[in-house]
Amino acid sequence: MRARFIDVDGIKTRVLYAGSGPALFLLHGVGVSADTFIRNIDELGKRHTVYAPDMLGHGFTDAVSFGGRPPQVATVRHLARLAELLGVDRFSVGGSSYGGLIAALMWFDQPHRVDNLVVIGSGATFHPAAEQEQTLRNAAANAGQALADPTLESCRKRLAAICFDPRSVAEDILPVQLTSYALPDRFDAYKETIAGLIASCGSTEHRVYSRLEQLSARTLILTGREDIRADWRLHVEGRKRMPNARLLILEKCSHLPYMEHPEAFNNAVDGFLAGETVGE
């Protein structure tokens, strides 16, 4: 795995990357960074060129003002432009939580460029408006403690709270997360992002919940049975509405299956991208 900073139309953007082959973008959840995929990038990079960018205002990517609009608008535009600058015309994209919504919106924005979707524990994608608003408020309460007063322990607790087994937390990324949280604009950027997501919970344009029947991309939905941020039952219902989706539920797994069960996650995603039938 390597790291690279790319100027995306004046926005300094950090990308973790590895491997060769068909392109795969991995998109993190709100309030974390690309480092959460530390257990996946090299493994999936054995058969793909994996790019894991820090999204706007996250990790070590510059924050921007959303101008009162939902963060999804600028984020989808930023990632599409990043792909262009990387010389990537077609790609698959996997997104966790908020990243799952962004992945789906990227398909709606440019379906001719997206080959496959992997949507990972994403209330942003599969929760109705009221449930998602409460999910976001709960997430903000958890993450806000670490962002407001970043210490190694507060970062550890922030991730442990969304893992089934707290021992699943990738200790090696905690100093990096602590460093990014210490940047003077990170907490404000997070609060603006969360506020924009809450304000757009009922939006047809900025969410995909009401449009799942139109989401015809070949899709793998992957979630944990014990996910405290994404109800597996609503993922089951969402999968029924999608024309070309399959669902895999991991047991004893909460919101970060790629960190909690990396071998099962990597095998499932690798097989799915290879054209295998994964899930039900």
Contacts of 153 (CB under 8 A, 6+ apart): none
Tell which residue, 15, 10, 25, has the closest CA to residue 103.
25
pLDDT value of position 205: 94
Low-confidence residues of the chain, pLDDT below 50? none
Q: Give domain status of residue 280, yes or no.
A: no
For residue range 267-276, what is the model confidence (pLDDT) as tens digits?
999 999 999 9
CATH number of the domain within which 204 lies: 3.40.50.1820
CA distances from 222 to 61, 227, 230, 236, 263 (A): 27, 11, 11, 10, 14
Q: Give domain status of residue 12, yes or no.
A: yes
Tell which residue, 267, 261, 162, has the closest CA to residue 220.
267
Torsion angle in degrees (nearest 10) through CA of 46, 270, 101, 141: -80
pLDDT value of position 265: 98
pLDDT value of position 249: 98
pLDDT value of position 279: 96
Contact present, 43 and 269 (Cβ < 8 Å): no
Helix (H) or strand (E) holding 136: helix 129-148
Q: What is the count of structural domains for the chain? A: 1
pLDDT value of position 29: 98
For residue range 2-25, what is the model confidence (pLDDT) as tens digits?
999 999 999 999 999 999 999 999
Domain with 57, as residue range(s), is 2-273
Q: Give domain status of residue 278, yes or no.
A: no
In the block, which residue shows the tokens 């602590």? 178
For CA atoms 98, 100, 101, 107, the dihedral sign is positive
pLDDT value of position 246: 98
